[in-house]
């Protein structure tokens, strides 16, 4: 009796297909799945044979590249994955409460100094959820499932995303008291011309929203630059230069003081988003709602009106 493609298909092979499509390599998929390279290759070959279609073109330079047939399958496989995740969540939720694993990507300072502390309370509320936090100074791809939810400086211009503004935050000019004592008083913007700044590496900044130094202080001199705001913060603490830093990072630190209060500042936004196909996952929507509530509660800290972080109750 002739078998159809559906009858020949091993559904678990779709899991291997998704990881290869997202990582672009069999070795990358193998690491994420906890298996060896040959297992991944074998499962992809089995899937291609079951479907009677070539899903990837392989090259030394580009790795595993989806064919047209592979691109068609990817959309359907992601829909199946999301539906299965939602089903498992509902079934296990009746017995164990909300459970599962989440990965959140965010900008470096915000992820390290705000999101991570806030998430400790979220995990107390939902003890069966585990979390990865990726506070990195670059973009993370949601389409490749490098993360489930992202917080970025810019709203995504395209893509099937559920997106909303998370909050505004303010940056100000900071220095150590020792720096100000050694380099003379700063009474106006004109006085800044003779001072050195720590700033971003212009051509390597992952967002144009970070290039505010020249906009605020045209001609500002910077001898030390870094792609990391944490590195800029640490450099400012050495008392050798000025730095424009987020108030939520520098404000609570008594080793730094604001320079030209109210005169040199900038407001930026954080956006929170996740893939449309994850909308049905309750743990995703609950996390997004929780982070919005945390941001609203901490508006004074984020806008430089308070140096104290506030927390939602654990229950």
Please list the residue range(s) of the chain that carry CATH number 1.10.10.10. Answer: 5-88
The dihedrals phi and psi of 254, each to the nearest 5 degrees, come to -70, -10
Domain 99-167+269-302 in this protein, CATH class: alpha beta
Would you give the distance in Å from CA 288 to the centre of its chain? Answer: 13
What CATH number has the domain spanning 5-88? 1.10.10.10
pTM: 0.73
Kindly state the tokens that stand for 51.
Answer: 């479907």
Give the model confidence (pLDDT) of 9-27 as tens digits: 788 888 888 888 877 888 8
DSSP letters for 87-127 = HHHHHHHHHH-SEEEEEEEE-HHHIIIIIHHHHHHHHHH-T
Split at pLDDT 50, 70, 90, the class of 129 is: confident
**Helix-, strand-, coil-residue percentages of the chain, each rounded to 5:** 45, 20, 30
Q: How many CB atoms lie within 10 A of CB 141?
A: 11
For domain 169-268, which CATH number applies: 3.30.360.10, 3.40.190.290, 3.40.1160.10, 3.30.70.2740? Answer: 3.40.190.290
Give the model confidence (pLDDT) of 66-109 as tens digits: 888 888 887 777 777 766 766 666 666 544 456 778 889 999 99
């Amino acid at each position: 009796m002739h078998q159809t493609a559906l009858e020949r298909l091993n559904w678990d092979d779709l899991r291997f297909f998704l990881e290869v499509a997202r990582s672009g390599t069999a070795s990358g998929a193998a690491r994420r799945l906890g298996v060896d390279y040959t297992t991944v290759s074998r499962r992809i070959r089995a899937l291609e044979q079951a479907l009677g279609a070539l899903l990837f073109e392989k090259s030394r330079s580009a790795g595993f590249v989806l064919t047209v047939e592979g691109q068609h399958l990817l959309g359907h496989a992601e829909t199946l994955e999301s539906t299965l995740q939602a089903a498992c969540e509902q079934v296990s939720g009746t017995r164990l409460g909300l459970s599962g694993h989440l990965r959140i990507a965010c900008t470096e300072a915000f992820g390290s100094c705000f999101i991570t502390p806030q998430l400790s309370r979220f995990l107390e509320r939902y003890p069966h959820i585990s979390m990865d936090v990726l506070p990195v100074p670059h973009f993370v791809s949601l389409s490749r499932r490098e993360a489930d939810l992202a917080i970025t400086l810019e709203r995504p211009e395209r893509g099937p995303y559920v997106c909303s503004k998370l909050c505004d935050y303010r940056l100000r000019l900071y220095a150590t008291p020792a720096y100000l004592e050694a380099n003379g008083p700063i009474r106006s913007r004109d006085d800044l011309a003779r001072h050195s700044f720590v700033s971003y590496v212009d051509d390597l900044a992952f967002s144009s929203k970070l290039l505010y130094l020249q906009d605020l202080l045209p001609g500002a001199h910077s001898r030390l630059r870094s792609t990391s705001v944490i590195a800029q913060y640490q450099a400012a603490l050495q008392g050798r230069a000025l730095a424009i830093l987020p108030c939520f990072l520098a404000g609570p630190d008594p080793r730094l003081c604001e320079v030209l209060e109210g005169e040199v500042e900038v407001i930026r936004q954080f956006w929170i988003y996740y893939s449309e196909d994850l909308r049905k996952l309750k743990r995703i929507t609950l996390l997004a709602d929780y982070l919005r509530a945390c941001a609203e509660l901490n508006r004074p800290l984020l806008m430089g009106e308070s140096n104290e972080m506030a927390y939602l109750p654990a229950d």
